Amino acid sequence: MTRAFTLRGLRLAALLACSSISFTSSAATGDTVRRETPLLEHWRFVQNDTLADSAALASSGTDWQAVSVPHTWNMTDAASTAQTSPDSKPYKRGRGWYRLEFDHGALPANAWLQFDGASIVADVWLNGKYLGRHRGAFTAFRFDVTDKLAAGKNVLLVKVDNSAPVHGDDLTAIAPLGGDFNMSGGLYRSVSLIETPARAHLALGDYGSSGVYADTVSVDRDRANVRVRALVENEKATDAGLTLRTHLIDATGKTVSSSVRRLRVGAGAKAQGELVLSVPRPHLWQGVANPYLYRLQVELADGAGRVIDRVEQPFGIRQFRFDPQAGLFLNGQHLRLHGVNLHQDWQDKAWAIGPREIDASLAMVREMGANAVRLAHYPHAAHTYQQAGRLGLVVWAELPFVERSLTPADCKAGAAIPPAFLDNLDDQLREMIRQHYNDPGIAMWSVANEVAMGGTCHGVDTVTPAVRRLHALAKQEDPTRPTTLADFNEDYPIVGPMFPVLPTGGITDIWAVNRYHLWYYPGGGDAFGAALDRFHAKYPTHPLGVSEYGAGAALSQQTDNPLGGLVGAMDMHGRSRVVYQPEGYANYVHEQIYAALARRDYLWGSFIWSMFDFGSGTRHEGDIGGTNTKGLVTFDRATRKDPFYFYKANWSEAPVTWITGRRYRDRAYRVTDVRVYSNADMVTLSLNGREIGVRKADECPLRTCVFEHVRLDEGSNQLQAQGMHGTARTSDAVAWTLAPDNARNVYLAAGQIATGQVSSDGHRYGSDNFFVGGQGTPLELDSPYGSRFGTHVRNVTDVRDAALWAAVRHGSFGYRIALENGRYRVRLGFLDPVKDAQPGTRRFSVTANGGVVLPSLDIVAVAGAPATAITRNFDVEVRDGILRLDLVPEVGEAVLSNLVVERL
């Protein structure tokens, strides 16, 4: 590969952006100057970790698999939601070979092969001649094949390696060395042949870029000044007198500004030509409000005036400004970024996606009302940035420096950071910036994500020197955009036992934090908000954002009360057979955290983790395997989860009315709260045709209307919510069922977050609900973040019944259960969850409607051992519609495993 042109010393007031890398083919435009021919079909592929280079070069490929690119050999094993176990095989990482035969006519004066993405390392041969190697999974790269391309038959051979590195001298030991996402292998983006009619051309060897860089030097309502730098390569044997011409063309096809520059380039030399465009009455790129794009055309002509190369790109005139107290301003107008994180991953396709999938994903982002995307944790396809620009989305672009600069084995051994790793980081950063320099939406360059997680080896900081180095390089490459990073654990001692706290704030121009309160971290919205205030005070001159927050949501797992117990935040081993992540709990997290964000005007933006579920081979959680479940939409893009509509109601101008909990169809309890996300002026809820209540907009904080204590009917329940938007209406309906058994009685699994357990005798239990006080905790939860007692019930063998003893509510607590007046039998289930509990270490009483029904209960003394189930029954009379149960500690905490209330 040819690389040149270090961009130094630019001091520009603002950035004018347009898309780069992907040049329109001559077949589509009729352009005979620069021709790009896609090489997508008729490839042959074999996945073979031991095939020697010489054997691959000698092979005809006839017994290899026929494929087209984009392609990855991880379409199924790295992009499946199939459930996992400790014995599940990880997705395949190794070497794949691609072979293509293609014919070519008369040879051009200049020819380059372009690869838009090959993961992780690619070696390339053309007609048996080695072209070179590219190390980096996410950026485009090119090889000059002018003297290797043949008239007639050509054979292109590519070896791609996505092997997991163990040590720093391994071929694939480049960034990212960590990350909670899969690294699919293959030619997963397009391949093409670029041809120009002369050996002098706009730079094709400049880190895979277009060779054209444009900046908005100044802009006001009357005029914008745009500086265009064009890099030229003269590969002729003689000096060349050349002319650069640049034109700015508006959406109607009218040229609004032009500029010409003559330059002389020596034989085999490179040169930069600078031009200025003065644009009267500029039409600004104003984000989603008005994503107006010009077309920037740069031509190179020879001494006779013949055009010998041309690049044309979309172009947006805009300026970003970040303020530490007031947030972000776009063209002088305040803009709060409501963003989402996005991986380049799709169920059953993995990374082998194209424009259709990218457009569908970004269309959902806009449907929800988001105005920004963080393209995590690496450079995405050029089309992603281009489409984001067309839609007006502000983009956080990110380098794949994730978690660590040493492999875990080298970190443990105390090895030094290989200089080649740092050099490759520099190369990947240059490639990202130069290839996407002109994309209009990019507002910042992120140089790292969560590097503090694995950044300390034997007490030595192995990452922040690299972050500082990358910050300096990014400012050298593009002084017009701020640098940023995503911090993981600064000032968060809760993660200290696993990840030493390593500050990364204050290094980059702006910064943001990944914080998962109510998921990985304790404390709700108030604790989260207080943490943000501390960071704002600690770094008062550094604008602050939130780069990640969120919660997993499993569609088949629901809850009656999101505070009833603990979710399983993650399980990296697959040893916990069920790791509950109810959809309703995710609703609660997003409502709480977004409330804290909305109250802090100093934040320049926030990004939900994440827009879509995505592949993560180490995970076993929720109701699927090998998948991070925090998406607002499922991995296959088929189902929008409840929180999607929470944000749509808050961010979108489209009318929204959405009843949550629709996938919780078979209800456990007669009395429930109904939540409706709506941006209507007024919402009316009805049940089986009768009106339940009305909520005006000012009664629905953050567009969340709550109808409390709705009493369901036995059998079918048809709920309808109708929203009034002025004179227009929106409506939504759900269908729930309440079985006769659950209409009359109450079956409750204490301490449990997920509803729907069915006992061996056929009773449907709800999750913990109607409680006052106490804490719900699972007995065993194989998660580094979850609180647990590390035991399980000993004397219940049926797995259906054992599930009802899998958690406890403990502390000083009670229950307030709405019932029809009458006589009931109550059965309480107890076990002591402490493994070494002894008689006398725990004692408590139980009262019902104020009277003592179980005095001084010592569970271990009665059961004979810890973790041994016992039950106690008593009858009560309900006279005022409420059953009041209280568990009052005498020694230690009170505990409860399950509760049954049956009508007599």
- What is the band of 496 on the pLDDT scale with cuts at 50, 70, 90? low
Give me the pLDDT at residue 13, please: 31
Mean pLDDT of 18-23: 30
Q: Give the single-character DSSP code of 761.
A: T
pLDDT tens digits, residue range 96-107? 999 999 999 999
Mean pLDDT, rounded, of the chain? 93
Mean pLDDT of 160-187: 97
CA 546, CA 598: separation in Å to the nearest integer?
A: 12
- What is the band of 498 on the pLDDT scale with cuts at 50, 70, 90? low
Say if CB 672 and CB 701 are below 8 A apart. Answer: no
Indicate the pairing of strand 16-18 with strand 307-317. Answer: antiparallel
Say if CB 607 and CB 341 are below 8 A apart. Answer: yes
Mean pLDDT of 726-731: 96
Residue 855, pLDDT above cutoff 90: yes
Give me the pLDDT at residue 745, please: 99
Tokens in use for 395? 């983009």
Q: Give the single-character DSSP code of 494.
A: G
Residue 15, pLDDT above cutoff 50: no
Output the furthest CA–CA distance in the chain (Å, rounded).
Answer: 104
- What values do phi and psi take at 735, rounded to 5? -120, 120
Q: Please tell me the pTM assigned to this model.
A: 0.94
Q: Give the single-character DSSP code of 787.
A: -
Residue 3, pLDDT above cutoff 70: no
- Taking each helix axis as running N to C, give the angle between helix 642-651 and helix 583-598, from 0 to 180 degrees, rounded to the nearest 10: 30
CA 449, CA 451: separation in Å to the nearest integer?
A: 6
- Taking each helix axis as running N to C, give the angle between helix 419-436 and helix 464-477, from 0 to 180 degrees, rounded to the nearest 10: 30
Give me the pLDDT at residue 21, please: 30
Mean pLDDT of 807-830: 98
Active site residue 450: yes
Residue 537, pLDDT above cutoff 90: yes
Residue 17, pLDDT above cutoff 70: no
- Which carries the bigger pLDDT value, residue 700 or residue 238? 700
Give me the pLDDT at residue 6, please: 33
- What values do phi and psi take at 719, rounded to 5? -100, 140
Give me the pLDDT at residue 84, please: 74
Give me the pLDDT at residue 788, please: 61
* SS3 of 845-886: EEEECCEEEEEEECHHHHHCCCCCCEEEEEEEEECCCEEEEE
What are the Cα distances from residue 500, in Å, to 416, 497, 584, 611? 19, 7, 33, 29
Of all residues in the chain, the percent with pLDDT exceeding 90 is 88
Query: Left (φ > 0), alpha (ψ -120 to 50) or beta: where does 253 sit?
Result: left
Tokens in use for 566? 């603990």
Say if CB 216 and CB 15 are below 8 A apart. Answer: yes
Q: Under 8 Å CB-to-CB from 501, ≥6 apart: which residues?
A: 452, 489, 490, 491, 492, 493, 495
Mean pLDDT of 778-806: 80
Nearest CA-CA partner of 622 in 651, 655, 584:
584
DSSP string computed for 740-777? HHHHH-EEEETT-S---EE-TTSPEEBPS-SEEEEEEE
pLDDT tens digits, residue range 379-428? 999 999 999 999 999 999 999 999 999 999 999 999 999 999 999 999 99
Nearest CA-CA partner of 443 in 559, 321, 361:
321
Give me the pLDDT at residue 262, please: 96
Nearest CA-CA partner of 446 in 476, 471, 472, 480:
471
**Residues forming beta bridges with residue 249, ordered by sequence position:** 255, 295
- What is the band of 787 on the pLDDT scale with cuts at 50, 70, 90? low
- What values do phi and psi take at 655, rounded to 5? -60, 135
Mean pLDDT of 652-664: 98
**Domains of the chain (ranges plus CATH)?**
34-196 (2.60.120.260), 206-320 (2.60.40.10), 334-551+584-612 (3.20.20.80), 666-740 (2.60.40.10), 745-903 (2.60.120.430)
Of all residues in the chain, the percent with pLDDT exceeding 70 is 94
Residue 710, pLDDT above cutoff 80: yes
- What is the band of 479 on the pLDDT scale with cuts at 50, 70, 90? very high
Mean pLDDT of 512-518: 95
Query: Would you say the C-alpha torsion 500, 504, 505, 510 has a positive or negative sign?
Result: negative
Say if CB 144 and CB 268 are below 8 A apart. Answer: no
Give me the pLDDT at residue 22, please: 32
Q: Give the single-character DSSP code of 779.
A: S
Mean pLDDT of 144-155: 98
Give me the pLDDT at residue 30, please: 40
Give me the pLDDT at residue 521, please: 83
Give me the pLDDT at residue 493, please: 64
- What is the band of 237 on the pLDDT scale with cuts at 50, 70, 90? confident
Helices and strands in the chain: count of H runs, count of E runs: 13, 54
**Residues forming beta bridges with residue 271, ordered by sequence position:** 232
Ranges 414-418, 672-676, 826-830: which has the least confidence? 414-418
| Chain centroid offset of residue 306 CA | 48
Which of 235, 299, 450, 490 is an active site residue? 450
CA 80, CA 885: separation in Å to the nearest integer?
A: 46
pLDDT tens digits, residue range 553-579? 999 999 999 999 988 776 665 555 678
Residue 5, pLDDT above cutoff 50: no
Give me the pLDDT at residue 613, please: 98
Q: Residue 153 is inside which H or E element, if any? A: strand 152-161
- What values do phi and psi take at 418, rounded to 5? -65, 130
